[in-house]
Every structure is written in structure tokens, then in C-alpha cells.
Chain A
Amino acid sequence: MLELNNISLPTDYGIVLTRLSLVALDGRITCISGRAKRTVLRAMMGFVDVLEGVISIDGEPLTKKSATALRQLMNYMPRRLEPAGTCPVYEPPTADDVARLKANRLGRKKQIVLVDEPPSEMLQRLQQMAAEGLTVIVSTDDEGLLHAAHEVVRLQN
């Protein structure tokens, strides 16, 4: 279970997202839509400093110190991987690189899946993961995915 309790976040658009609360439960798909959805997803991984409020995973608060350990419970699928600016040789990390991470070699079950703007064809896979009891959190504006989700959080500007 991943919980956001009354959090405020700075966003890429120069605005501050305030008083956001949600509970993403095991075995359910939670969709986040709206302008700063990716920022919320990044905050759940500890990449964005929360101005106020608490993010917790199974009751354990997500802090700078605990973030590395808590991220070991997560699988993250970004929308796309691309270099910032022009890059002479582009070598994105592969699935093998991820599989070789120490956290993945331990064989520990990853309870939380974070997916950034998946294509609508991925719906079946997301439903399958939720059926396996995983906490599936998706950032999307795709109406098909939003319709199929168990919970939808719409961020307001």
C-alpha cells in the first residue's frame, strides 16, 4: 500500500500542487491524471522533495534516507528513455541492466508498480499485475485506462 497524506509538491510548471491525498491499495489500479501527474509519480519514488505532508509505503515514511530501501520494493516503467540534449553516442539502459541490479538479483517480490503514461494496449498487462496482488499506479490521461482503473485521481490546475 502506498499512501500520500496531504502532500504539497513543486511541479515542473512552476506551480505548487497542494493538499494531495490518496491511498493506492494492493491488487488495484490507481490512475493519476492531470498536468503534474508525472511529478506525483516521481515524488512517490523520492525524486521530488515534498514541501509538506507525508508519503508512506506500508506505513514506512518515504524520506531521503529510506528512499533507496523503499524503491527496492518498486518497479518503474518510464514513458520513454531519451537523452537530454544532443548526445553523440546513445546507450539507454536495457532490461538486462535492470535485471542485474542487486535489488532484482535478490529475488524479492516487488509489490509496487509505477507506470508513466503507458500505451492503451498495456491495459491487459496492468490488470494482470493487479490480479496478482500488486499495487499498480499509473500516470495517464488515456480515457480507456482511466475508465478501467479502480481509482482515479484527477489533478486540478
Chain B
Amino acid sequence: MQNSILAIVVALLWLVLPLFVFYKFDVRLLAMTVRSLGKYTGGLLVLGALLWLVWLVGSWWLSLAWLLGVVVVAAFMIVKKARVEAARWCWPLAGSMLAALLLVGGTLVWALPDGRWCLPFMAVLLAQMVPSLVSGLHVYTSSMRHTELHREYLLGNGATRFESLVPSLRRAVRAALLPWLHRWSVVSLLTLPLVLSGLLMGGMTPVDACVLTLVLAVASLSASVLALSLTLWLVERK
């Protein structure tokens, strides 16, 4: 903790530099920075307090309740970002994300050596799923809007309902996969993955950190595809 306080003091000292620059050139930026940093700190304090509580109690039901709350909030955020109809998409999305997290994350957490990694592992999985689901849902709904004539063409030639949806489903899965391909293609010494950096800072050996980062990446991809497929199935089943 002593180290942390020293780090906070050093960081605050370094903060003086950008604040001084903003003060000199753009006072509005100074106000915005102070406001945003205040909000960020407040949010982190609340989050930290809640996490501490969950950590201290250490019971599975509290962890599950925490996960459930976070998933619902994430689902609302995804629906808003993807600009899709909340009433139709939010609950299937939340249910699918929870199922994907429990299935993919649960099996991997079971295989991990330390049970305390459960919450951070799930949190990372969830955070990694968000961009994929946003682009997948956005592309799917926009494809459905644009391709009514296409679906009639396929249906008129004997397609089942599922077959008529396949082109839009294909586009959605492709769009959900693209953030992953992009992320995986830019890993280099200059852009160390955040998860890897976090694990290294947490004291893990570089080899273990790399292995766990890879496990997390694969698990996140699987969870994203599973959550997207489940969501589309729940919304489109008739």
C-alpha cells in the first residue's frame, strides 16, 4: 500500500504537466480533464469497493449476482451502441451473454489453478465480447433492413426461414470476427496486449502471462461467437 500511495503522489505530480499545458492554451480542456478524471476516479472507487466486498465475502452467489448485474448493464450498452431496438434485443442478448460466459468462462475457470481468478477472468471475457457483439448486431439489423427483397427472392424459391436469413447471419458473424482479426494482427512489442501487461504487473512470469493471454483470447472469441449465435437464434426463432 505504501508503494501505491507513492505511485499516486508521483502520478499526481505528473498530472500537473498536462494541466499546466491546458491552462496555458485552452482553459476549457482543463475543466474537461478535471471533470472526466473526477468521474473516472469516482467510478473506480465505487467499482473497487464493490469488488472488494465480493472478494471479502467470497461466496459463489454474490459472484453470480455481480456477473448478472454486469451482464445486464453490458447488454444495455451494446444495444445502445449497435443502435438496435432495445425491447427486442436486450434480454435475449443478456441471456446469451450470461450463458456464453458461464459455459466458456466457467469451463476455463474450472481448469485454472486459482479460483480467485474467476471474477477478473469473466470480466475480461465480457469486456472483450462487447465490440464483437456491437458490430455483429449492428451489421445484422442493418442487413435485415436492406435485404427484404433478397429474402423474398430466396423464400420464393423454396428457402426455409433460416435459409433466407443466412446471408445476413453470415455478414453478422463476419462483422463480429473482424475486431478479433484486427486485434490479433497488431500485436507487437509496441502494442502489448493490455491483459498481458496487467498479468505481468500482477507478478506473473512472462511465459505464464503469454499462455493465459492466449487462453483468454481464444475463450473471448468463442464466447463472442456463442453469444451472438444464441442471441440471433433467440430473436429470430419462430
Contacts and interface: CB of A to CB of B under 8 A. Distances in A.
Majority DSSP secondary structure for residues of B touching A: helix
Contacts of B171: 91
B10 to A, nearest CB: 47
Contacts of A72: 158
B151 to A, nearest CB: 9
Contacts, number: 75
Given A68-B161, A74-B156, A93 B167 contact: yes
B153 A76 contact: yes
Interface in A65-114: 68, 71-76, 78, 81-85, 87, 91-93, 97-98, 101-104, 110, 114
Contacts of A103: 157-160
A72 B93 CA distance: 33
Interface residues of B, number: 20
Nearest to A44: B156
Contacts of A101: 154, 157-159, 163
A43 B78 CA distance: 38
Contacts of A76: 152-153, 156-157
Interface string B154-179: 11111111010001000100000000
Given A71-B158, A93-B154, 8 more contacts: A45-B156, A71-B156, A71-B159, A78-B156, A93-B150, A97-B167, A102-B159, A103-B157
Interface of B: 142, 145-150, 152-161, 163, 167, 171
25 contacts: A47-B152, A68-B160, A68-B161, A71-B156, A72-B158, A73-B158, A74-B157, A76-B152, A78-B153, A81-B149, A81-B150, A83-B146, A84-B145, A84-B146, A84-B148, A91-B167, A97-B154, A98-B153, A98-B157, A101-B158, A101-B163, A102-B158, A103-B157, A103-B158, A104-B157
